Structure 1
Amino acid sequence: MKPSYPSTATPAFLGTQNPLASSMPVFLEPRFAAMTPAELLTHFRLRAVTNYFPLKPGKAKHVASAQPILNNEFTLNNETHRLGDEFNWLHNPSPDLEWLIMLHKFYYSRDLALAYDYSGDEGYADKWVALVGSWIEQVPDGFVNSQVTGRRLQQWLLAYHYFVPGRHCFKITADFLLTLLSSIQSQALFLSNNLTPEGNHRTIELSAIFTVAVLFPELSASASLLAFAQRELLDNLRHDFLADGVQNELSTDYHHTVLKNFLRVRELADLNGLALPEAFDTVIRKALEFSIYAHKPDGWLPAINDGDINSYLSLLRKAQRYYPGDALSYVVSQGAQGKPSTQRSRLFADSGYCILRSDWAERPYADGRYLFFDCSDLGFGSHGHYDLLSFEMAAYGRSLIVDPGRYTYHEHDSDGVNWRHAFKGTAAHNTIMVDGKDQMAYRCHEPVGPQPRAAVLSFESNQGFDFVHGCALSPQYEVQHQRSIFFAEAEYWIISDLLLASDAHRYEQFFHLAPEAQGQIEWLEAEQGHGIQAPDLLIAQARRAEVATSLEPGWVSPEYGVKHPAPVLSFSQQCKGSGWFQTVLYPYKNIAPALHVEGISVTSLGQSVPATQALALSILIQSETTTYHDCFFVAHQPGLTEYHFADVICQAQVLFIRRDAEGGILSVRAYAAEWLEIGGRKLLDSIGKPVCLNYAQGQLQIDAIDGSVPA
């Protein structure tokens, strides 16, 4: 049965004499300190609960989850340990410190509270009281670190609202309630004096202080804690997010951890009639805007840097109440409500994150093509991976090229593998490794010494294409890595990698496929080029004798402590100096087209142009109903030179031409172009004024890219 709700009369058992009644609890405001413990218990039971988040009802699944906890059996981070009846909170039965941290965060108290709500069984309350009571007896404030304290307070306060206000739970005694309240204030005061300097931990800690102060005005320190939290939260908010709205640790998962805690502050402030400054809402709106773009069409987030593969659409749904907007509604509803963002693709310039995607109006919504390009530095703190210029790609409702995730935070190698390094290192990402080295000297936690740096050199999102060009430098080697990504016809991607060096190096390019591709890969025929056909994805390069291809075993970790085998496609070459790769990524739905990729020679002033200066590809795509002859050109060197290839003469950084089976031109896309001739026909003469050119369906559109008037 459900827990009963008390009448306004004081329950008879509260009249029992309590030994604490003769002493004044100094942690309470004078009016409440003057009450007897029994009166205090009655006060907190009968107090209104409209100033806290709406409580979800318990379900049968919570009873099932809570059962092992009754026997001190805890499954944390996918690792299970059974502790003794009188276990020591300071002892870690796991080699992973994160397990002990999770034990002290008390996330499992939610299952106990909801199991009680569903069943009315006092045994769940009894267990929560026993766990909290023994923790208070054994553990000093701040054990492990401050953010653990913040998380624990959040979980205790959630459980408290299931066991105390409006409830008649016999296991919550006056003695326990006073002990609990005293500990809550003590931990909040500890946090106020021991805040983490920066990052998501500080946000969690401040959110916990704010929550304690708002929910318990009866505590003697509440007023000062509230003033402290309000002051520090706004300052922390400004430091936590970059100007483009991305959280400064540059983790997609921790971005939403921070966003969730600030949204909790916003909701509690609203429930309790507290005003927050306009600057607070301005930053949150920017953070939500990044979240809108970062979510893939299937509703999931890529696990960039440390974090799990998660969906935060439910969080965005809650945010709609305070930050309504058409774009937010559109993403939350998967295109069923609201209106899409006005920009199809987006560069977040301060972080270096770039999302290239197909039209928001794609139907089904999940079929949209999506690529997340990581042209960022490592970020603040210890959560950055050595993944500069990596990316994740999804299409037709599936993640096809993925970031493998984090798996673990510790280096225990009982199986001979340092899994922290294995998932954090450069080889675990969709980028290029030089001489078998990480982009940064490996450390389990925060980096020490010079760090690799990345920068976006150019970005263009136009009606018929997207183009982004970035570069990365590592202190581990002399090589400069430049990567450009061209999104053609909102259909497929062409990735051009240039590696500039004067000494000999080995270059390895990695593409990490989803676990669903395991055992489902076929090599392309020789005439198609180097590459593979995987489920819903073709990967191809023009065939080159100096480039070796291989399929290697890899892993993908959807959540902490869990990893699944997944294949990794590798292209590698040994060069005396500079090197390059050019790769076509063609996603498809159900039936793969025939794809053929060949290199095209490029000349300038009658001389062959080296690949480190410019590259051109011929891409033949044949499906059951259509045939496309695509041609792609990219110039790597700054400054415009006249280039010749096939029947084309151009001065441009990027050029894409699509022809039909008969050779008729269907579309032309050009970026930073000043001159263009195709088949002897001049399409553009804009010398000295680089422009974007789009031609499709008989319509020609020319747009300036430098503020000048188009020719």
Structure 2
Amino acid sequence: MKPRAVIPTLLIATGLFFTIIYPSIDFRNSLFKEDAIFSHLDYTLPAMNEIKIQVDSGNMSGAKHALLDYMQDRVKSPVHAWSGNTGYKDKADKIIAREFTVNGRTHLLDDYGTRHVNGRQVLDMNFHLNPDDDFEWIWQLNRGGWIKDLAVAARGFYDINDNATGDYYTAALVDLYTIFLEDEPVGSGYSWRTIDSAIRVKNIIRGFDLIKNSSMFTPEFCYKYLESLLDHGRFLNLFHKIRTNWGFIEMNHLLDICAYFPECTLVNRWLEECWSTLDKLVSISIYNDGGTSEQSIEYHIVMIGQVLDAIEYSINYDFITAPEHFFAVAEKMAVFLLHNTMPDGYVATYGHADVRRPSGRLGKASQLLINNTEIQYFDHNGNIRPNATPPRLNVAFPDSGIFLSRTAWNDENALFSYFDGGPFGKGYHQNNDLLNVMLYGFGRRLVIDPGRYTYTSDPVSGYLRTAHAHNTWTIDGKDLFMVDAAGHQWAGGLLGTVARSWHGSFGARAEREIVQVNFRTNSSDINSTTSNALDQARYWLISDFWHGGPDHNLALHWQLLEHDPVLIDNASNVISNPETGGIHCMKTNFPQGNVALYGFGPWEDVQNITAGDKSVHGQPYGYWSPDYNQLENATTYRYLGTTGGDDSWFTVAYPYNTSVNISVNSIPYTIEGNLCEFGGVSNPANVLVVNHQDGSKDLHVSRRLGLVESIPIVLELNGISFQITGNHASMHFQPSETVPSQILARDVSSLSMNGTIILDASGSTVSVHDEFLDHVTMGLRTHDGMVPVMVNGSPAAPSRYKQNGNTLEINLL
């Protein structure tokens, strides 16, 4: 089956299963026979003796009283127990009136009359009602968030000695849960999906433990409560999934039951199933680099939370032992999450993702995984430790295909870039976002990913999954990015990073390279691992290549903020759009924190899409705000043109705070004696110069892969002839200088000026001719161990260079 057909097929199949087949299965209200729960208690525990006496005598009523006494006298509390809070009173009152807010939507479900429950007449309830015709609403309702609201409110009033009000909310909770138990037999449709049942376990344990000492928590209900808890355990043990986040959540909450009620003799069997299943889930869902196969940062956060919880159970309970390798898995996942955190503390929102801080997960990782120095950047409460700065700024996660760069830690104004050059995700929560980029600078998301809308198949949700809603391109209006990358390259060091990825699906080749340029204005700053706003040559270059037939309609998409990006800031945005020929430049105009886009390509028009008029633009649009539960305005800049066969285009994204004064020029070059100028058909490279306000400039050469790489690209700049053999080279020229002082290169075999080779990596060593260079950051084409460096024909002193993986740093000061 083609990848694009998988998700609709799964949605249809799932819908049919839950609406037709699942509800018709004959389930009982409990998996246990009447009173058989007593046969599953561990009577070797001295505290269980009174229960055993009553059971042996056949006094089931007395056994239930003894069971309640035992539960109330137990010191054990749930992991992550809740506290009481009278501030939950309004939520609790609405639930009693049968007003439920789920997934951001509120419905009043009070038209089912009344019902006699536990000796009280209460409003009835229908847990199958689907008022929005949205399965997600009913599934979320049955996860039992209402248990927490009522229990926390009740406990809050008990804590201030208002027992009458506490009893009122406890009775309401006991009655509503009794209705659930009577109307929703184990395994019934809607209410007993495995993931919803697992999440409900958390609410059941933590909620009812808060009110177990209330007079409303009767022996009969205590028995029903524990019977229900063990029903959930048996159900999850039998029917859990072995797939992505569902399996992690289901096994984590089965562990929850084991930790809370080890007096049950079924626990050992369930623990074996938990660890066996979690081990399988790790092997199929967690990449070796710590990323997760769903390719969604939201569900990475979910899964690392489950892994950390499992480790915490193992640390806190002698009878629960996590496999040793789980600690290493959690470390890799935490490091991945750490580097996917932007300078403002929010995650890079790829895949289905809310704009959220991961500090809670990272704080917990810091607490449990004390031997990893990178994770210790966060303290146990999730607060940053400025003096524990992680050692790496630029990180590649090759299995996930995610490449991350930043200019500094502990600096909200630092630059940060995200590039997706990896596989298409498994499951439901991935987006069609191969080759997507996100950019951040000066305290703001500058080029954004729209994140998720809802799980459902509505038009906006469907649109936000597509390439059209990401920072990539489409051909003939078709989404080409629901595929795996065919390959990727990476190098990262002091002067910046170079990441490239491509795919060859659909009978053509799409290729993108993103360069985070980090040249230093002052040579004396070269040795610093961080840079700041005084370094003017800090920006991004995105080079795109299309290798396919002619006469296709091309659309390049950039997603920018308009205002209120999920409460991160409240500034307004005005776009200016000067354009000349195939060059389209624009800049944002926030009071501070901006980006200018200099777009060179076969562009004939640019659409500025700032509203969701599908009839005009063929799309709804917006930026989903979980805080407001609505679409916030955003801006899509859609460059439109046609391809003439093999084609290339590039965009310089220049971040600035309040003003910008640079220029970007494409310059001609020759290859095999053929003159190539920008806009020509089948150009093999993007060649450009960025001119800075202080008079310095940068030269960039980015060449399409798959060509005869031994043939040099020849160009002239500052009256000097340059020859570049390889795929990428960037050079920085100080003001009034005609020769470069800094070079950032990736996959280059040689670079020469006026016939003199200044950089040679064609053999087993790297040779530098140094008369004017200060520093070279070079991504090696191939490497096997450490690569020797020669400077002016002599071996370089070890103190002059260092190698990190495939990246070589050469200090020539």
TM superposition score normalised by structure 1:
0.87
**Alignment CA distance shift 1:320-1:558 (3 Å):** same
Q: Deviation per CA, 1:202-224: give whole Å up to 9, x if none.
A: 11111111111221123342232
**Alignment CA distance shift 1:265-1:334 (3 Å):** closer
Is 1:642 matched up with 2:721? no
C-alpha contact (below 8 Å) 2:65/2:219 kept by paired residues: yes
After TM superposition, list the pairs within 5 Å mapping 1:495-574 onto structure 2: 495-516=542-563, 519-524=573-578, 526=580, 529-534=583-588, 535=590, 536-541=593-598, 546-553=603-610, 554-559=621-626, 561-574=629-642
* Distance in 1, Cα, partners of 2:771 & 2:500: 24
2:396 corresponds, among 322, 347, 352, to: 347
Q: Deviation per CA, 1:88-146: give whole Å up to 9, x if none.
A: 11121122111101100012322323222323233332222222211111112233321
2:439 corresponds, among 393, 396, 413, to: 393
User: Equivalent pairs: percent with the same residue?
Assistant: 21
Deviates more, 1:633-642 or 1:657-666: 657-666
Q: Secondary structure at the match of 1:674?
A: strand
After TM superposition, list the pairs within 5 Å mapping 1:265-664 onto structure 2: 265-273=310-318, 274-324=320-370, 325-331=372-378, 336-360=385-409, 363=410, 365-412=411-458, 418-439=459-480, 452-474=483-505, 477-489=506-518, 491-516=538-563, 519-524=573-578, 526=580, 529-534=583-588, 535=590, 536-541=593-598, 546-553=603-610, 554-559=621-626, 561-589=629-657, 591-609=658-676, 612-622=683-693, 626-638=694-706, 639-645=709-715, 646=717, 647=720, 648-663=722-737
**Alignment CA distance shift 1:454-1:705 (3 Å):** closer
C-alpha contact (below 8 Å) 1:602/1:614 kept by paired residues: no
Is 1:226 matched up with 2:271? yes
* Distance in 2, Cα, partners of 1:357 & 1:697: 27
Which residue of structure 1 aligns with residue 18 of structure 2? none
Is 1:709 matched up with 2:777? no
- Amino acid corresponding to residue 461 of structure 1 in structure 2: G
Where structure 2 has 5 or more consecutive residues not aligned to the other structure, the ranges are 1-33, 55-62, 111-122, 159-165, 519-530, 532-537, 564-570, 611-620, 791-813
* Distance in 2, Cα, partners of 1:539 & 1:27: 71
* Distance in 2, Cα, partners of 1:551 & 1:27: 69
Which residue of structure 1 aligns with residue 148 of structure 2? 110
**How far off is 1:25 after superposition?**
4.1
**How far off is 1:579 after superposition?**
2.3
**Alignment CA distance shift 1:543-1:240 (3 Å):** closer
**How far off is 1:186 after superposition?**
1.2
* Distance in 1, Cα, partners of 2:178 & 2:504: 53
- Amino acid corresponding to residue 191 of structure 1 in structure 2: L
**How far off is 1:619 after superposition?**
1.3
**Alignment CA distance shift 1:280-1:604 (3 Å):** same
Q: Deviation per CA, 1:404-440: give whole Å up to 9, x if none.
A: 112112235xxxxx22321112211111111111237
Note the aligned Cα RMSD (angstroms).
Answer: 2.7
**Alignment CA distance shift 1:685-1:382 (3 Å):** closer
Q: Secondary structure at the match of 2:645?
A: coil
Q: Secondary structure at the match of 1:211?
A: helix
* Distance in 2, Cα, partners of 1:467 & 1:93: 51
**How far off is 1:397 after superposition?**
2.1
C-alpha contact (below 8 Å) 1:599/1:618 kept by paired residues: yes
**Alignment CA distance shift 1:544-1:579 (3 Å):** closer
**Alignment CA distance shift 1:691-1:633 (3 Å):** farther
Deviates more, 1:601-610 or 1:522-531: 522-531
Is 1:194 matched up with 2:223? no
**Alignment CA distance shift 1:694-1:74 (3 Å):** farther
- Amino acid corresponding to residue 147 of structure 1 in structure 2: I
TM superposition score normalised by structure 2:
0.77
- Amino acid corresponding to residue 482 of structure 1 in structure 2: E
Q: Deviation per CA, 1:207-264: give whole Å up to 9, x if none.
A: 1111112211233422322232233222322322111111111111001111111211
* Distance in 2, Cα, partners of 1:183 & 1:695: 76
After TM superposition, list the pairs within 5 Å mapping 1:168-183 onto structure 2: 168-183=213-228
- Amino acid corresponding to residue 55 of structure 1 in structure 2: A
Q: Secondary structure at the match of 1:169?
A: coil
**Alignment CA distance shift 1:169-1:615 (3 Å):** same
After TM superposition, list the pairs within 5 Å mapping 1:87-102 onto structure 2: 87-102=125-140
- Amino acid corresponding to residue 261 of structure 1 in structure 2: Q
**Alignment CA distance shift 1:653-1:693 (3 Å):** farther
Which residue of structure 2 aligns with residue 48 of structure 1? 75
**How far off is 1:660 after superposition?**
3.4
C-alpha contact (below 8 Å) 1:692/1:702 kept by paired residues: no
* Distance in 2, Cα, partners of 1:298 & 1:640: 44
Q: Secondary structure at the match of 2:393?
A: coil
Which residue of structure 2 aligns with residue 15 of structure 1? none
**How far off is 1:525 after superposition?**
6.5
* Distance in 2, Cα, partners of 1:572 & 1:409: 31
Deviates more, 1:281-290 or 1:155-164: 155-164
Q: Deviation per CA, 1:518-562: give whole Å up to 9, x if none.
A: 642222465994121113333433555644222113311133953
**How far off is 1:148 after superposition?**
0.9
Q: Secondary structure at the match of 2:153?
A: helix
* Distance in 2, Cα, partners of 1:486 & 1:331: 29
* Distance in 2, Cα, partners of 1:678 & 1:537: 36
**How far off is 1:467 after superposition?**
0.3
**How far off is 1:374 after superposition?**
1.3
C-alpha contact (below 8 Å) 1:531/1:538 kept by paired residues: no
1:78 corresponds, among 82, 101, 104, to: 104
- Amino acid corresponding to residue 629 of structure 1 in structure 2: K
C-alpha contact (below 8 Å) 1:593/1:621 kept by paired residues: no
Q: Deviation per CA, 1:313-369: give whole Å up to 9, x if none.
A: 112112212102332122566753453333321111112111122233xx5x22221
Is 1:39 matched up with 2:66? yes
Is 1:677 matched up with 2:752? yes
- Amino acid corresponding to residue 712 of structure 2 in structure 1: E
* Distance in 2, Cα, partners of 1:106 & 1:520: 45
Where structure 1 has 5 or more consecutive residues not aligned to the other structure, the ranges are 1-21, 413-417, 441-450
Which residue of structure 2 aligns with residue 184 of structure 1? 229
**How far off is 1:375 after superposition?**
1.5
C-alpha contact (below 8 Å) 1:655/1:670 kept by paired residues: yes
C-alpha contact (below 8 Å) 2:742/2:775 kept by paired residues: no
Q: Secondary structure at the match of 1:410?
A: coil
* Distance in 2, Cα, partners of 1:523 & 1:172: 67
Count of aligned positions:
662
* Distance in 1, Cα, partners of 2:516 & 2:656: 15
* Distance in 1, Cα, partners of 2:168 & 2:407: 53
